[in-house]
Amino acid sequence: MRRMFLYALVQQFRVVWPIFSGILLAMVGAGLVIGRIEDWRVDEALYFTFVTGLTIGYGDFSPQHLLTRLLAIAIGFAGIVMTGLVAAVAVQALRAADRNLLNEAGNGPLDQRDP
């Protein structure tokens, strides 16, 4: 089951990879813009981006300008979308692995022995 799940997870992730990477690049880009405007180092800007995107929000870095606050909100929403995307991919992979397991056992919907 574990191997089937991992195989299905990779297959599902291949489908959403362009969306996932686009959102991630947009988040990092927005974080670097925030860091530039707020005069943060690159590592601080990336740290802020991932803490905000994962909706952890420690509060040790906070944007002070209106534009950077709006970008931080966008990063937070993008993080929520990414979290949902990862959860959806995992659920689809579990369903695919379960379907394959049932079909191999002869108890799935493709079993033609039982009318």
Q: Give how far Cα 38 sits from Cα of 49, 51, 59, 71, 106, Å.
A: 13, 16, 15, 12, 61
Q: pTM for the full model? A: 0.81
Look at residue 112 in the predicted model and tell me its pLDDT: 53
22-62 per-position pLDDT tens digit: 999 999 999 999 999 999 999 999 999 999 999 999 999 99
The domain 8-100: what is its CATH number?
A: 1.10.287.70
Q: How far is Cα 5 from Cα 8, in angstroms, rounded to an integer? A: 5
